[in-house]
């Protein structure tokens, strides 16, 4: 009786008291008190071989099953917690890939607010970024999605970038400056909307270090612009060969390229262009 009273005075119930004899890990599991960001930071401090952090949703069990309405809010809160946890760790020894799979990327009331300082600090510890999203129209209200995209755009140190989306608005003008992502080695775009005057110099600047370039569907606004884009690249390549600098590009895939007209750029034209770009035997597919 004495013990029970003592525990109650501490603000706990008898039900909780029963767990006190169990191992610490089990108590924490049954009566969780720790925040996800704290636990994640602790985990990162201990592990030394971690290479990939993947955020995904639970696999569909039944084909009729749809995502519940609160999924975007929960997902975005988990992302914020992960970024918070990453920002708390001073040093991560291994190269880390952050994969945001099935990312809703919408502004909801429950999304929470992105602290740009914390988020950029966290992204600074990531080497590769993969975002897989279906996306929707951004709407007129700025919020979680736009703030996070701004942070991604400013991550100049990234070596790998993979953006897979099927919605034209989600990553529109994601590449907006030739000086973005200075250290890129591997690039993959599912759907790319950009300007030829930006994308041409952007890719040309990365050519000496680029190992992989995949564009699923590329759109530029002006007709005939893709030829201009690759022309810039071709000139850069000639200059590199003249200097005796080796090319590193080994994977180069292009799906369809559109330049302001309804018909895609002809495959023959792409073959002609890419044939002159290849450094070694490439994996070119259409």
The residues binding another protein (CB under 8 A) are 25, 28-29, 32-36, 38-40, 42-43, 45-58, 61-62, 64-68, 70-71, 74-75, 78, 81-82, 102
> Which residue's CB is nearer to another protein, number 65 or number 222?
65
C-alpha angle 162/215/283, rounded to 5°? 100
Which residue number, 29 or 286, has a Cβ lying nearer to another protein?
A: 29
Q: Which two tokens stand for residue 233?
A: 């690249």
User: Of the two residues 59 and 141, which places its CB atom closer to another protein in the complex?
Assistant: 59
Q: What is the distance between the alpha carbons of residues 31 and 182, in angstroms, rounded to a whole number?
A: 46
Minimum CB distance to another protein, residue 23 (Å) = 9
**Of the two residues 101 and 239, which places its CB atom closer to another protein in the complex?**
101
Residue 164 phi, psi dihedral angles, 5° rounding: -115, 115
CB of 47 to another protein, least distance (A): 5
Q: Residue 6 or residue 54: which is nearer to another protein going by CB?
A: 54
Q: Which residues contact 150 (CB under 8 A, 6 or more apart)?
A: 116
Query: If you search the block for the tokens 């809010």, which residue do you land on?
Result: 73
Nearest distance from C-beta of residue 237 to another protein, angstroms: 36
Q: How many CB atoms lie within 10 A of CB 204?
A: 21
To another protein, the closest distance from the beta carbon of 6 in angstroms equals: 26
Residue 3: Cβ within 10 Å count: 9
What is the nearest approach in angstroms of another protein to the Cβ of residue 94?
8
Helices 116-123, 71-88: axis angle to 10 degrees equals 70
């Amino acid at each position: 009786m004495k013990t029970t009273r003592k525990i109650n005075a501490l603000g706990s119930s008898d039900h909780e008291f029963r767990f006190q004899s169990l191992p610490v890990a089990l108590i924490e599991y049954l009566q969780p008190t720790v925040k996800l960001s704290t636990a994640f930071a602790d985990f990162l401090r201990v592990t030394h071989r971690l290479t990939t952090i993947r955020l995904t949703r639970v696999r569909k069990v039944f084909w009729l099953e749809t995502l519940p309405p609160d999924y975007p809010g929960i997902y975005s809160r988990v992302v914020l917690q992960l970024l918070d946890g990453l920002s708390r760790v001073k040093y991560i020894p291994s190269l880390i890939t952050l994969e945001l799979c099935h990312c809703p990327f919408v502004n909801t009331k429950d999304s929470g607010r992105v602290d740009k300082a914390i988020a950029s600090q966290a992204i600074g510890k990531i080497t590769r970024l993969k975002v897989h999203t279906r996306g929707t129209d951004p709407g007129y209200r700025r919020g979680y999605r736009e703030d996070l995209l701004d942070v991604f755009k400013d991550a100049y140190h990234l070596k790998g970038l993979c953006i897979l989306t099927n919605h034209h608005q989600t990553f529109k003008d994601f590449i907006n400056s030739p000086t973005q992502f200075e250290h890129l080695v591997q690039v993959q775009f599912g759907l790319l909307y950009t300007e030829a005057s930006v994308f041409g110099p952007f890719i040309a600047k990365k050519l000496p270090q680029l190992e992989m370039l995949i564009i699923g569907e590329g759109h530029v606004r002006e007709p005939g612009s893709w030829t201009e884009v690759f022309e810039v690249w071709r000139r850069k390549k000639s200059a590199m060969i003249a200097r005796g600098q080796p090319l590193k590009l080994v994977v180069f895939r292009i799906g369809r390229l559109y330049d302001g007209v309804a018909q895609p750029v002809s495959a023959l034209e792409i073959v002609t262009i890419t044939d002159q770009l290849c450094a070694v035997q490439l994996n070119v597919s259409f």
